Structure 1
Amino acid sequence: ISGMRDWQHVFRNIMIHETSDCHFEACLVYNQWRLHSTIDKDLESKIRKKASYWRQVLSRIFNVTLTLAMSNLAFRGHRGIIGEGNSGNFLSIVELLTKYNPSLEELVRKPKGSTTYLSPKIQNKIIYQVTEGIINDIKNALFYSVIIDTTQDLSKVDQLSQVFRYITIRFHENTSTAKSFNVVLMIVFQTKVLEAINVLSKMLQSETQELGKAAEMLENAYNLMKDLRNSFFNIRQSVVKVAQTWGFELKRAPEAKRHFDELSADQQLTEPESQFKVNVFYISIDIIIAQLDHWFQSLKEIVHDFHSVNPQFLVESSDEDLHVAEVTLASRYAADLSPNFTAQLLSLRSCWKSEIKKLSTVKELATMLIVKQNTFLSSFPDVYTACMLFVSLPVT
């Protein structure tokens, strides 16, 4: 190690050095380095093997815990020892898996007092960590929905369940997809549709909503969707502003050169924006319009049948028009309305025309007959019956 200066006896000194412990240890280190290994390779191999073993054990314990939690099953029984009766669902499943998994079999055979990770504390920690992870994902999500439902168990105790629905996007994996112009276009398009449909849906679900008002709102939503179908350019302008706000790049699609003998009809929808407009935008809008039209036409027919008891029509219509409307309604409900229906409508209009002018719905007319003019209710039984038939019809 310190060198040599006795060159006359160099061969003897070399032989002495080659038989020394220092040279032997140096050769051993060199040989291990040449094999790309370390001196403590065996120790490191044991550590890795042990880590792999515990990783497999914890993976199976984790899966059993999540399975029982998602199935809303009890974990523990009367006894917390594997192999004994009533040990609970968790230990019973672990005991079953030991027959097919060597890692769990070795875990169960460990002596008492050894680390097994089968205690209830570990189960609670796993559930807590999963819950915290879900809560963090919901908080970080841009949009999420909540569904709450209650039911009674066998002991008549209400059980409340909450369901959260959210979407997570891995931007580092789907950068090109997330920053697509069509994605922003779809979001803005759905927002426009939901702004109109959501208000309609909430109003139709109201307990005080009347059939005539529902038909009017459906007609407004139908006309709004028809206008939206012709507003793709305005939607695109809104998308451009949103995309610029979010920092998305707007790339112009390359245009293919056409030959002089090609016609415009030969052009295919190769541009993504045109494909979205034809294959998504128009198809979605047409389906919505068709559904609203079918729903609106059904309500429109019912409202038209009961046109004779509409306060505005009752005041402004002539005797002939009122008679025609009465015949239409009486023919549909012949078992409920008598031939005196027209005479009762004319008599009602002549008696309280000024008060009927202040009304706007059939429900208000029925309220006037039942509450304000209840003493004359027996004089207009068919009018009252027609109003009750209309009010009792469900909106949805």
Structure 2
Amino acid sequence: MSKRVPSGYEKRKKKKEEQEKILKLPKINSFFSSAVPYEEGIINSNITQPNTKPTALNDTTLNIIESFKTEPQHSSSKVVPNVEPSLTLNDTTSDKLDTIETFTPEPAPSSSKDLDLTCRYPSDRGKFSDEVLDAQTKRLIMSFGPCKPDINFPRNDSNRKFSIEYYFMNTKSGFKIPRPWLCYSIILDMVYCETCWLFADRLNKSYHSNWVDGVNDWQHLAQKISKHESSTQHIEAGQVRSLWNKNKIIDEQLERQISEEADFWRNVLERIIKIILFLTTGNTALRGKEGKFGDCNKFAEGNFLRTVRLISDYDPVLNKLISNDKDCVKYLSHTIVNELIEILSSEIVKKNCDEIRTSQYFSLIMDSTQDLTKVDQLSIIIRYVKVNYEENKFEIKESFIGFYDLKHHTAKDYEQLIRKIIIKLNLDITKCRGQGYDGASVMSGKHNGVQTRVKYIVPSATFVHCSSHNLNLVISDAAKSHQKIINFFDTVQAIFNFFSSSGPRWALLAFNSDISNKIRAKVLKKVCPTRWEARHDAVFALKTRFVDVLKVLTQIILTSSKTNEKNLAMGLKKQIENREFVLILCLWEPILRALQGISKPLQNVNITLDQASNMLRNAVQTTQKLRNSFEDVSKNANELCLKWGISTSFLNKRNIFAKKHYDELDGDYRLNVTEENFKVPTYNVADSFGFLTPTTLLKLNDSDIIKYSYDFVLKYENDITSDFARQLIALKTVIINSEIKAIKDLAQFIISNGFPSSFPDILSACIIFMCIPVTVASAERSFSKLKLIKNYLRNTCNQDRLSSLAVLNIEREQTINIAIDKIINDFANAKSRRKNFLI
């Protein structure tokens, strides 16, 4: 059934009744009084009446508006009938005031609460109803700016569509003038006038709603736009909007008060955020025994509140906050602090993930450990290459994502956790080109390990066993290869335990040396099987202080009154006071020193697989040279023996022969320790990229290049095109006179010389190679921060707070350029706040 339309007589009758009601209303000047400067609701009596004739604003109206100094009144229920003698308003002025919309500070309606502030275009017209919006929602819409998407606009049935060219007006002289009022709604597929939508007078007889509701007829759209922007309705709405923007609206004092209050609380929050960053980047605990500000003695407060009090002595903003006892809202509670910590860490992770998404590929680095409360913490690092084509450089980065507690430890659980984290970070797992784990079977298993499960999803995600872990395993296995070597390291550890367990003995060793002032810092070290450099530090310290150790042991034997201490000293002295121990000491020190030289570079973030392979090969060659130079080692051992008067000959012992079976051959047997024990899977991965090394590429002929490139394209078919071989052949002529030797240098050569578009596949191959991790040292370093953050005094720290604090500390370089204003806006928009932070 169609809607009933009133007849002309009914319309005229209704209009006459409304005019009679208007005539019965009192004049506006009856509401003014000399005793009261202004009462809320003075102008609303005329504005709220329907069918009032609006007129254009003139100078008289503006002067009257500016003369009003509005102040919010809390007792405005009564209207004062007195009239101020010096102020007279005629009917014309009263009618003109009707054209200005008064914006009363009302609480936000449900529409403003339902605003989706996280979307890309939050001010889209399609998200709101056709009714006039309240002041708070208008303020939010204007703060986000006009909705002007630059997308592939859809076509209508007539094959016409909207274009971004309509956002501008082209003058005859060729200038482009923007149209800030013109907006496009993606939801409605319509263009509309934001100015008329927000500020047009809907009571005006000449009001038209087509540019408020939206226009989607693209035929002759330019003429329609030109006609609307020159219309009276649009110009009047623009005047009201201009008054709004210039704070010349009737309630400007209230608006200014709201703005000043928001500015004050933003300044408070800015200082709180900077204090949090100052404390968290230095691994300093924030809380003490306090609950809320002022709940306990200020001397029992934590570092955060103490820092706030300290700065308040010199900062007027914090001083005003603390000294105001009437306002119980101070935003200094631990709940607010934890919320800000989470927002800050989320912003840093989001920024890093944005860089990861813009880069071509990334790799996963993971390792786990137990914290102080026996919870298994998984550290996740993402390695990627950040290329800056404007500055012609790139950077290999390893970004910390966070700690995640492990409740189950199967490969399937690890895989599900990885999937969940990748989805949460909005990353594409198909872009993963490398995996770096330790040697645990659950991680590196060939059949059902984590690396195999990830390869099932992404076949090109190459797994690399951590080179530093591998090197440490080689050293550990070598240290257990013979009983004499096992006894040697046990003796080194026993000497450390003997001196470190007693303060007087430790002090006696520290100062019982003729050159103690020079070597006092070189103290005995502990032999730790899991620390990569602990064995070298322990052996080197004992070799340096060998004579001092024997002196102190002798002194303890002669002067100590404790039988147990004497016996321990005699036993240790007997074990080290022979040439065999000294020879092993002089043999292991240069071996461990050579491996120590590559342990540090392997932990560098910028190291690549080819560099790691070369270092490991050099380590193998160094050990082979030491094996062939046994005479030099023996000479050094004899010199050390003579310093204490130890015999330089071995003690004669009875030979022990093992029973020989009938099928065994005569001859000596040695341990099956070969060169392969020093090799790691890094070799195999590096060899697959070996043809990309400039020195190798120049030696290959075209047929070999085609063969290597064919195998490479098969492995990385989603990344490298069939044009790869041609690019390699062409690259040979470009780098023939260059001095680059490594793949990393080749990538820099291509970028700095402007060749990325000429050799895109080669650059992609170089980036993939640099993405593949060499070690998990970054994950190991994160465990050091874990122990500092979650120590025995802070062991109740929950998982989210632990991870957020670790992100702020490990990625502290990112906190320097963090956008404080964005953090404050995110904090304000997260949920309803008792104070206003939006200006």
TM-score by length of 1: 0.48
* Larger proportion of helix: 1
Structure number with greater CO (CA < 8 Å, separation at least 6) is 2
TM-score by length of 2: 0.24
